[in-house]
Amino acid sequence: MDDEFLLLNPGPVPVSEAVREAMAEPMVSHRSAAFESVYERAQGGLDEVFTRSMLSGRSTASDGTSLILNGTATMGMEMAVANLVDPESELVALVNGKFGRRFARIADRYCSVTRVEADWGDSFDLDAVADAIGHDTDVVTMVHNETSTGLLNPVSAVGDLAREADALFVVDGVTSIGGDVFCIDDWNVDVAITDSQKALAAPPGVSAMYVTDRAAEVAHGESAPFYSDLEWHLRKAADHQTPFTSAVPLFRALAVAVEEITEEGLPARIRRHRRQAEAFRRGFAAMGLEPFPEARGVTVRSNTVTATALPDSVKEAPTEFFDAVSERNVSISGGQAHLGGEIFRVSNMGRLSSEEVLRGVRTVGEALGDVAVDADVEAGIAAVEAEL
C-alpha cells in the first residue's frame, strides 16, 4: 500500500503545503490593515481566475467585482438568487443533476420557478430551454460543471438565450472555475459562483463570486437576507473587508491558493486539467469500464470530474469495492442521491500530479480485482501513461 493518503473526491481536494501553512499564522483582526491586504491579494487572484479562464489567457470580463464569502458556494447560490429576485420574479432553473436541482430548490423559497429538466446525466434540450425563457423571465440559473454526473453543460448557448430575453444569468461554476474555460462576458454570465475547496485548491469554508455591474445594479438591500446582503458585501469588498467577521485563516489560505493558480498560468492549468481528465477517462476505458454519462447532445464530459459506471456485479455490493479503494489509502466518491451504487467519481481538480492520476487508475483497477471484476490494470496504466 502507498503510505500517503490520496484525496480524489470532487472536493475538498488536496492543498499545497504553502496553503496549509498560511492557515497557521498568528491571528489578526478582520478590521486590520493586515487582513485587508490578505483580502486584496485573494481578490486580485480571483479577478484573474474569473476573467481570464481561457486557453488564450485573454480577459473575458469587463466590469464586475470578485467577492469572497464566509460560507461555501451554496451560500453564494442563495445570495445570488435572493438578491436578484423578489416574490413576483420569474426564474428559470435548468436541472440535470443534484446541483442544478439545488439552485431550483433555493429559488423556490424566493420567487416563482420554472424548471427545465433532463435526466441526471442527460443533455438539455435547447429548444425546451428557449421555450421556457421568455420576456417575463428575470433570472436564469444553471450549473456549468454538474459534479454529480461529471457533465459539462452548455453555458454559452443558454447565456445567449438569457441575454435575448434580457434576463440575468447566474451560473454555478463551482467545479469548473480555476480548472476549465469559463467566460463571463462571452457567455453573458451576470453572476458566477465558485467554492474554495474545488478547482481553486484551497480548504473548504469560504467561496467566491463574480458580480457584474449589470447584476449589482439590480441587487436591492432592503429585501435581501441580512447576512447575505449583496449590496453590503460589495460595499465592504471595496474596502477589502466582509460585512461580518471574516474566517481569517481561510482567507489567507485562499490568497495563497489563487496566487499559485496565477503562477501556473490559467491556460497551462486548464490544459493540464484537460489532459488529466482525458487520462482518467482513457485509463478507466482501457480497463473495460463504461463512462457515465455517455456524452450526448449539447453536453460533453467534464474536464475536472470523471464519472464512471460501476460494473453490474459491483452494483450489487458497491461497499466492498469502495472499501477496497479505501484500504489502498485512496479516497474516491460514489454517486449522489439515486446514482448511489451506480457510479464512482474521481476529481482531478487543483494540483494533481501525473503519478497521482496513475495511482488513482491503478487503485480502481486493483480494487475491482478484489471484488472479482476482471479489470486489465496494465492496460489502464498504459493508457494513462500514453496520455500524460
| Residues that bind ligand PLP in the complex, under the rule CB under 6 A | 11, 72-74, 99, 143, 147, 172, 174-175, 195
Decide whether 147 or 246 has the Cβ nearer to ligand PLP: 147
Decide whether 177 or 375 has the Cβ nearer to ligand PLP: 177
CB 284 within 8 Å of CB 361: yes
Smallest separation, CB 208 to ligand PLP (Å): 12
Smallest separation, CB 317 to ligand PLP (Å): 26
Q: Where are the alpha helices (DSSP H) in the chain?
A: 17-22, 33-51, 73-84, 98-108, 126-132, 155-164, 213-218, 230-238, 248-264, 266-286, 312-315, 318-327, 354-370, 377-387
Q: 57 Cβ partners below 8 Å, 6+ apart?
A: 265, 266, 267
Decide whether 72 or 262 has the Cβ nearer to ligand PLP: 72
List C-alpha distances in Å: 290 to 19, 169, 315, 337: 36, 34, 13, 20
Smallest separation, CB 82 to ligand PLP (Å): 15
Decide whether 99 or 187 has the Cβ nearer to ligand PLP: 99
DSSP state of 345: E
Provide the b/e sequence for 229-254 (b: ≥16 CB within 10 Å).
bbebbbebbeebbbbeebbbbbbbbb
Decide whether 75 or 384 has the Cβ nearer to ligand PLP: 75
Q: Where are the alpha helices (DSSP H) in 85-206?
A: 98-108, 126-132, 155-164
Measure the CA–CA gap between 322 and 334, rounded to whole angstroms: 8
Smallest separation, CB 13 to ligand PLP (Å): 11
Smallest separation, CB 72 to ligand PLP (Å): 3
The cell for 202 is 484551497
Decide whether 156 or 354 has the Cβ nearer to ligand PLP: 156
Smallest separation, CB 77 to ligand PLP (Å): 6
Decide whether 195 or 259 has the Cβ nearer to ligand PLP: 195
CB 191 within 8 Å of CB 211: yes
Smallest separation, CB 195 to ligand PLP (Å): 5
Measure the CA–CA gap between 207 and 221, rounded to whole angstroms: 21
Decide whether 172 or 278 has the Cβ nearer to ligand PLP: 172
Length of the chain: 388
Pairing verdict, β 305-309 and 191-195: unpaired
Smallest separation, CB 331 to ligand PLP (Å): 15
The cell for 97 is 443533476
Smallest separation, CB 73 to ligand PLP (Å): 4
Measure the CA–CA gap between 79 and 84, rounded to whole angstroms: 8
Q: What is the DSSP string of 199-258?
A: TT---TT-EEEEEEHHHHHH--GGGS-STT-HHHHHHHHHTT--SS---HHHHHHHHHHH
Decide whether 130 or 295 has the Cβ nearer to ligand PLP: 295
Residue 338: alpha-carbon gap to chain centroid: 21
